[in-house]
Amino acid sequence: MSLSVRHLLSVKDLTKKDVDLILKTAENLQEISKRPVKKVPALRGKTIPLCFFEPSTRTRASFEIAAKRLSADPIQISSFGNSLSKGESLLDTVKNLEAMDPDVLVIRHPHSGMPHLMAKEVSCPVINAGDGINEHPTQALLDLMTILQVKKKIQGLHVAIIGDILNSRVARSNIILLTKMGAKVHVAGPASMIPAGVEQYGVQVVNDIREVIPKADVIMMLRIQRERESASLFPSLREYARFFGLNKNNMKEAKKDVVIMHPGPVNRGVEIAPEVADGPHSIILDQVTNGVAVRMALLYLMCGEGERKIKY
C-alpha cells in the first residue's frame, strides 16, 4: 500500500486509510527503537534535508533520529549561517537543495503556508514540520497514535484541548484529525485565545475549563506561545494559571482514567502544574517516543518504500 498524497502538508489531505497506513507502519517500525542497535538499512542512500527556519528542539531531533534509524542521510539546514543570512531568498535556497536530488524535504517555517509554496516548486515530496500558526500534521499523527495506544479507540472519545487555541498549529491539526477519526473535541481557554469561527470544525467551545474537565477522556494542554505574543492576550501568567491551568485541585474533577497530553515545551506552573505533568495520568513522554516512530513511518512511506514489504 502507499499514501494517496505525495506531500504531507495538512491532515486535511489525509484519508482515513492514509492515517491507518501511517500508524500501522509506525507500530511496525517502533520495535527498532527498542533494539540494542537502533538502525536498519531501509532508507540507505536516501538524502533528507531538514529545513528548520524556526527554533525547534524535539521536532528537529525527532526527524533526525527517525532518518538515522532508517539509515537515511539527514542534512540540517537553518536560517542561520547559510545562504539565507547572505541575502538569498528561501525559494532559491530550496531550488538549490532540489538540484542536489533530495528524496524528501522536511520544512518548518514561521510563516503559514510556506511548505505549501515549496511543494509547488520542488519535485520531491515535502513534509510540513510546522508552519506558522497553521498546522503541525506530524504532531497530530503522533498524538493520535498515543491516544490509540492507551484508549484503544478514537470514535466517541471526548478530547479537551485547553489553552492558546488561536496561535496553536498543534490544536488546529489535532482538531481536524481527531474529528475526522470520530472524536468529540472541546476547546477551552480565554476568549481572546479562541479563534472566531472555530465551531465550523465541529468542536464545542467552552470558556470555563471546569465544565470540560469532568467529561474529558483526554486532556491536551497547550503552551503559552510567548514568541507569538500570546502573553498579551491575558492579564498575567498568575491569573492564567489560576483560571486555565491544570493542577491537582481541578484534576480531582477529572475521570479516573483520564490521560494528560502536552506537545511541549511545557511552561510548568503556568498551563500545567509539575505534579500533573509528571503524574500518573501523564502520557507526555509517550508522545515524544511515538514522534520518532511516526516520523520514521512518514519518511519510509514518502521515500516510496511503502509498496515494498518492510525488511529490517
How far, in Å, CA of 163 to CA of 241, rounded? 10
As a whole number of Å, the end-to-end CA separation of the chain is: 18
How far, in Å, CA of 82 to CA of 206, rounded? 45
Q: Which of these is catalytic: 60, 69, 108, 281? A: 108
pLDDT tens column, 249-307: 999 999 999 999 999 999 999 999 999 999 999 999 999 999 999 999 999 999 976 55
Longest dimension (CA), the chain: 57
pLDDT recorded at residue 142: 98
How confident is residue 55, by pLDDT bands cut at 50, 70 and 90? Answer: confident
Cβ-contact 240, 190 below 8 angstroms? yes
pLDDT recorded at residue 308: 54
C-alpha cell at 119: 511543494
How confident is residue 225, by pLDDT bands cut at 50, 70 and 90? Answer: confident
Tell me whether residue 86 is one of the annotated catalytic residues. Answer: yes
Q: Which of these is catalytic: 86, 120, 152, 252? A: 86
Q: Which of these is catalytic: 46, 109, 136, 169? A: 136
Residues 97-126, mean pLDDT to the nearest whole number: 93
Closest by Cα among 271, 309, 12 to 162? 271
Percent of residues, the chain, with pLDDT higher than 90: 82
In this predicted structure, the answer to whether residue 310 has a pLDDT above a threshold of 70 is no
pLDDT tens column, 57-91: 999 999 999 999 999 999 998 866 566 666 678 88
Tell me whether residue 12 is one of the annotated catalytic residues. Answer: no
Contacts of 99 (CB under 8 A, 6+ apart): none
Q: Which of these is catalytic: 47, 59, 138, 146? A: 59
pLDDT tens column, 4-29: 999 999 999 999 999 999 999 999 99
C-alpha cell at 109: 517555517
Residues 188-205, mean pLDDT to the nearest whole number: 93
Tell me whether residue 58 is one of the annotated catalytic residues. Answer: yes
Of 50-59, 135-144, 299-308, the least confident: 299-308
pLDDT recorded at residue 304: 78
Residues 236-260, mean pLDDT to the nearest whole number: 95
pLDDT averaged over the chain? 92
